[in-house]
Amino acid sequence: MMKNSKAAHTKNWSQIKDEVFGKKGSPRRDELERDVESFKIGLLLRKAREEKKLTQAELGLLVDKKREYISRIENNGSNLTLKTLFDIVEKGLGGKVNIQIEL
């Protein structure tokens, strides 16, 4: 009788990241982690905008940015300056930004 050996080959997301992108601290892994964080910022901004019942165009008008730029940030989050992040959250959405640094 053969036992199911599939369970022994199951990998979690951390193991897959280690194998594909390298261990934490490697350049490729650091780039992945930054990309994931940028993506998460975009999702958080979209959610906050939708909760405020604003369109991308309306938010863009509030912070003097084009709708296409707001869309790009929400879909990717990359190339977002801190000034723009603060403008969007504070001026556009009436919120506050909390930034945490881990060492």
pLDDT of residue 57: 98
pTM value is 0.73
Dihedral pair phi/psi, residue 52, rounded to 5°: -85, 0
Map out the domains of the chain as residue ranges.
26-103
CATH superfamily of 26-103: lambda repressor-like DNA-binding domains (1.10.260.40)
d(CA 35, CA 95): 24
pLDDT of residue 4: 52
pLDDT of residue 68: 95
> What is the full per-residue pLDDT of the chain (103 aa) written as tens digits?
555 545 557 888 788 878 877 888 888 888 888 888 889 999 999 999 999 999 999 999 999 999 999 999 999 887 889 999 999 999 999 999 999 888 8
d(CA 74, CA 1): 53
